[in-house]
Chains A and B, each alone.
Chain A
């Protein structure tokens, strides 16, 4: 197990290098002169050739691309992501300030989607063709087709304005996390429920489940001891991808619920053409995503000994 984890961590290095290259590339491949765009965005169009040249020099845009990338990479590795053009604050500080809130939200969404989706899919499989099954299928189609912001607004309308149970915006503490977390969670729970359902149906037909019954294992125990772990394997493998969905979802969710997170910051940064800030935020989101996938792989190996001991 230890060797497996170490191997997976080493595999992260090239992935992260690639990520840094892409993030670095964002600024270079976009049409237009980033310095000019930034100057216009930040200072309302007051540009003089001297100021532009000064900014270009400060951003290193006059250096060869390779040198620029090297500067960016070594900077990133030592925690220097430059300065936000608009806020004149170090990007790293701005990102770190908001990172916790975003991770909190994505985790809450993930946990809720698993807590709702896994049992729902399991019951749907066991009561195949029953009303829970029909409900699960409808629910998963709704989850796949309903926009995040729309569900968010419905929840705000019902639970914040209507019942006054939870705050509709901002704030700290778990109460302000409930509505955005549930929004993200429910949207993604449908996919998990459907996956769990089909995986459970497959497991129920497996030979080892028949063996379990032939051994005299009671149905509840058979499901818990022999069924669930096997059925979870394919579900866990997509949790990493799901976490990516969650991160993407935070952009909208944080905006709808006015949460101070990276997602909302990216939106602001894009509107302001604040490239260093965009770079820093995307870099961190990517790192979170890659780390989440590492954790998923570890969970996968824990569930499936064929992976753990495979070569």
Chain B
């Protein structure tokens, strides 16, 4: 089956006062229709930037890619107007903090009806009806009344539901959820994740779920991509990656998740911090924090990953090559 989205060799470099900042360095990934791909990684690893580049929301000239094919069309070639037609209609996005991501001076209804007017040319009345329907799709109680409320009048969870309603209003083929539960109470988090999963099934969307919490993605994702310092360092089916991580960084992430079974070890966090993007070490960027690092790790960066096709589970690590040679 052909991919809904396929990104090849995405590079994002920001021009900063301190010099060019390489936020993303050669990311390639595929998302199949109806699939949920999780992207995990520590803060600053380039998860959000990858997604913003997809929507053309980065400063001009920052992003370059060999190819970004969405729904059969290479969108690197699209002009701004065409790209705008894609945003919101074909690709919906939910941001982390619904308080700041919603416009404080417009009603929830207005922020929602706008989608139908813009992308489907609906009249005010028809847009209103569609908006009420979408609010009930995202489980907003008494959706008609909620249309007239302002974001600050809603609870955090309800706000995020409103945000999701906006993102899925036009029934996009791809939904990007950038840490959709990070700003919410723990009790609300599961509800929001369930909601996204339910809507995905109902609308048949592909979903990219970004998180720095492996626990969050464990229950919802089909595949997982682990990002470190602007690269994908491991990618594969979620069970395969969780059961047999091939890259020490992934193992470290897994070990740092608190678990509640009795015989589990205490969570251990990975020592050290991610490198400054302006001064990354040569070779593998994880090398300074890696217990298994050896001289060869400094020599050259690990090979780029093939994002699709066999083998489905890959890691950008020297250990993987050694393993293969042994077997």
Q: Known contacts A303-B105, A306-B150: does B95 contact A207 (CB below 8 Å)?
A: yes
Chain A residues with Cβ below 8 Å from B115 are 215
- Interface check A131, CB cutoff 8 A: no
The chain B residue sitting closest to A214, CB to CB, is: B93
- How would residues 195 to 234 of chain A score, 1 for a CB under 8 Å from any chain B CB and 0 otherwise? 0000000000011101111111110000001100110010
- Interface check B101, CB cutoff 8 A: yes
Q: With the chains together, A13 CA to B61 CA distance in Å? A: 59
B106-163 at interface with A (beta carbon < 8 Å): 106-107, 114-115, 118-119, 150, 152-153, 163
A256-311 at interface with B (beta carbon < 8 Å): 303-306, 309
Q: Are A226 and B95 in contact (CB under 8 A)?
A: no
Q: Are A218 and B105 in contact (CB under 8 A)?
A: no
Closest Cβ of chain A: how far from B96's Cβ, in Å?
9
- How would residues 73 to 104 of chain B score, 1 for a CB under 8 Å from any chain A CB and 0 otherwise? 00000000000111111000101010011111
Taking a contact as CB atoms closer than 8 A, the residue among B57, B153, B166 that contacts A213 in the complex is B57
Q: With the chains together, A210 CA to B150 CA distance in Å? A: 19
Q: Are B118 and A215 in contact (CB under 8 A)?
A: yes
Q: Are B100 and A208 in contact (CB under 8 A)?
A: yes
- Interface check B32, CB cutoff 8 A: no
Q: Across the A-B interface, how many residue pairs have beta carbons closer than 8 Å?
A: 71
Q: How large is the interface on B (under 10, 10 to 19, 20 to 34, 35 or more residues)?
A: 20 to 34
Closest Cβ of chain A: how far from B120's Cβ, in Å?
11
Q: With the chains together, A200 CA to B153 CA distance in Å? A: 25
Q: Are B57 and A230 in contact (CB under 8 A)?
A: no
Taking a contact as CB atoms closer than 8 A, the residue among B85, B93, B152 that contacts A305 in the complex is B152
Q: Are A230 and B118 in contact (CB under 8 A)?
A: no
Taking a contact as CB atoms closer than 8 A, the residue among A214, A218, A230, A309 that contacts B103 in the complex is A230
Closest Cβ of chain B: how far from A69's Cβ, in Å?
45
Chain B residues with Cβ below 8 Å from A309 are 150, 152-153
Q: Are A226 and B57 in contact (CB under 8 A)?
A: no
Q: Known contacts A207-B95, A214-B93, A216-B118: does B87 contact A304 (CB below 8 Å)?
A: no
B30-56 at interface with A (beta carbon < 8 Å): 55
Q: Are B95 and A230 in contact (CB under 8 A)?
A: no
Q: Are A217 and B118 in contact (CB under 8 A)?
A: yes
Closest Cβ of chain A: how far from B208's Cβ, in Å?
14
Chain B residues with Cβ below 8 Å from A306 are 104, 150, 152
Chain A residues with Cβ below 8 Å from B152 are 305-306, 309
State the majority secondary structure of interface residues on A: helix
The chain B residue sitting closest to A229, CB to CB, is: B105
Q: Are B105 and A304 in contact (CB under 8 A)?
A: yes
Q: Are B101 and A211 in contact (CB under 8 A)?
A: yes
Chain A residues with Cβ below 8 Å from B102 are 208, 211
Q: With the chains together, A207 CA to B102 CA distance in Å? A: 8
The chain B residue sitting closest to A303, CB to CB, is: B105
Q: Are A216 and B84 in contact (CB under 8 A)?
A: yes
Q: How many residues of chain A are within 8 Å of chain B by beta carbon?
A: 22
Q: Are B57 and A208 in contact (CB under 8 A)?
A: no
Q: Are A214 and B100 in contact (CB under 8 A)?
A: no
Chain A residues with Cβ below 8 Å from B86 are 216
A69-114 at interface with B (beta carbon < 8 Å): none
Chain B residues with Cβ below 8 Å from A233 are 105
Closest Cβ of chain B: how far from A303's Cβ, in Å?
7
Q: Are A216 and B89 in contact (CB under 8 A)?
A: yes
B244-268 at interface with A (beta carbon < 8 Å): none
Q: Known contacts A207-B97, A305-B152: does B105 contact A216 (CB below 8 Å)?
A: no
The chain B residue sitting closest to A209, CB to CB, is: B103
Q: With the chains together, A213 CA to B95 CA distance in Å? A: 12
Q: Are B104 and A214 in contact (CB under 8 A)?
A: no
Q: Are B153 and A208 in contact (CB under 8 A)?
A: no
Q: With the chains together, A230 CA to B115 CA distance in Å? A: 20
Taking a contact as CB atoms closer than 8 A, the residue among B87, B103, B104, B106 that contacts A216 in the complex is B87
Q: Are A305 and B104 in contact (CB under 8 A)?
A: yes
Chain B residues with Cβ below 8 Å from A216 are 84-89, 118-119
Chain B residues with Cβ below 8 Å from A208 are 100-104
Q: Known contacts A215-B114, A216-B86, A225-B114: does B106 contact A210 (CB below 8 Å)?
A: no
Closest Cβ of chain B: how far from A214's Cβ, in Å?
5
Q: Are B84 and A226 in contact (CB under 8 A)?
A: no
Closest Cβ of chain A: how far from B111's Cβ, in Å?
8
Taking a contact as CB atoms closer than 8 A, the residue among A210, A214, A225, A305 that contacts B88 in the complex is A214
Closest Cβ of chain A: how far from B82's Cβ, in Å?
11
Closest Cβ of chain A: how far from B200's Cβ, in Å?
19
Q: With the chains together, A303 CA to B97 CA distance in Å? A: 23
Q: With the chains together, A217 CA to B115 CA distance in Å? A: 8
Q: Known contacts A207-B97, A215-B114, A225-B114: does B105 contact A305 (CB below 8 Å)?
A: yes
Q: Are B104 and A215 in contact (CB under 8 A)?
A: no
The chain A residue sitting closest to B118, CB to CB, is: A216
Taking a contact as CB atoms closer than 8 A, the residue among A210, A217, A218, A225 that contacts B95 in the complex is A210
Interface residues, chain A, CB within 8 Å of chain B? 206-208, 210-218, 225-226, 229-230, 233, 303-306, 309
Interface residues, chain B, CB within 8 Å of chain A? 55, 57, 84-89, 93, 95, 97, 100-107, 114-115, 118-119, 150, 152-153, 163, 166
What 8 A-B pairs come out closest when comparing CB atoms? A216-B88, A216-B87, A207-B100, A215-B88, A305-B150, A208-B103, A207-B101, A216-B84
Additional 12 contacts, C-beta under 8 A, given A306-B152, A309-B150 = A207-B95, A207-B101, A210-B95, A211-B101, A211-B102, A213-B55, A214-B93, A215-B87, A229-B105, A230-B103, A304-B105, A306-B104
CB-defined A-B contacts under 8 Å, sample of 15: A207-B97, A210-B57, A210-B101, A211-B102, A212-B103, A213-B55, A215-B118, A215-B166, A217-B88, A225-B106, A225-B114, A230-B104, A233-B105, A305-B107, A309-B152
